[in-house]
Structure 1
């Protein structure tokens, strides 16, 4: 199934504007009945963390995110998808990732947003290094079994 729904994928260092990105997907649209947004934030890990340093594989990261978004567009009746992932140094409380999905109905929008996040956590080529409050390198964050299990439930 080929779709003409708007699709935007970006990998950037700068923070994103959730409201502006939502307006971009919904402006002038009277067929949108549901907008689901997910914003992932950097946690402080109980005050131990000064920052996450996110690295990515340029070109490959965007391609993998776009392929996942295209899979969502073929799986659900979506009207638009935005997926933005940041890289660089990100402090606790700052946004890391944004997924916006629009559809005529909420069920498809919720499912597609969850699908996108499950695959972003497991397939997009990003690496996270934790930096402690005292500036020491806490090492790379390992993949989590729970994230793999969440992605596996989609059968893809």
Structure 2
């Protein structure tokens, strides 16, 4: 399941529904990304831009890679776009596998891709105006480990 949306979602309800649909799984991993505002560098909002159809196609392809690479039973990605305020959920990754390591690895693989390769562009809204969010070297390093 891939969902690119402007709508908010309930991570608990999403996880429960995803798990309930797959009684053959022995492990489920879920990760929810949340908009944060740091005390020393506050933001009032995070603005995510994308072309929804392109994003859905890209996310679907990486989901398929994760399922094949880690022998997952299923994987899901929910990713929001639009203007989000601190405390709101940005995205969610869910993986199901027969055993925990595959579920963890699949989720980490998807999260590392979302941080570096997904077609979303981010701006932070601050008291001084808008600023683009730059890529971080540590995110690129985390993603690069999967090329090995």
Q: Identify whether the pair has TM-score above 0.5, normalized to the shorter chain.
A: yes
> 1:14 corresponds to which residue?
7
CA apart distance, 1:59: 1.2
Deviations 1:115-146 (A, max 9, x none): 000001111110111111x3x42311011111
8 Å Cα contact 1:11-1:84 kept in structure 2: yes
Give 1:1-156 correspondences, 5 Å limit. 8-27=1-20, 29-46=22-39, 48-132=42-126, 134=127, 136-155=128-147
In the alignment, which residue of structure 2 is the partner of 1:5?
none
How much is the aligned-residue C-alpha RMSD, in angstroms? 1.4
Residue segments in structure 2 that go unaligned for 5+ positions in a row: none
Offset at residue 76 of structure 1 (A): 1.0
Using the alignment, how far apart are the partners of 2:96 and 2:12 within structure 1?
14
Instruction: Tell me, in whole angstroms, the C-alpha distance in 2 between the residues paired with 1:55 and 1:98.
Output: 17
Give 1:104 deviation, angstroms: 1.2
After TM superposition, the runs of 4+ consecutive aligned structure 1 residues lying more than 3 A away are none
Alpha-carbon distance between aligned partners in 1 of 2:22 and 2:58, rounded to the nearest angstrom: 28
Q: Distance in 2 between matches of 1:57 and 1:29?
A: 31
Shift in Å at residue 28 of structure 1?
5.1
State the 1:155 CA deviation: 0.6
TM-score, scaled to structure 2: 0.93
Q: 1: distance between equivalents of 2:45 and 2:26?
A: 37
Preserved contact between residue 129 and residue 137 of structure 1 (Cα < 8 Å): no
Out of 18-27 and 140-149, give the one that drifted further.
Answer: 18-27
Q: Could you say which structure has the higher helix fraction? A: 2
What is the deviation of 1:45?
2.1
Q: How many residues align?
A: 147
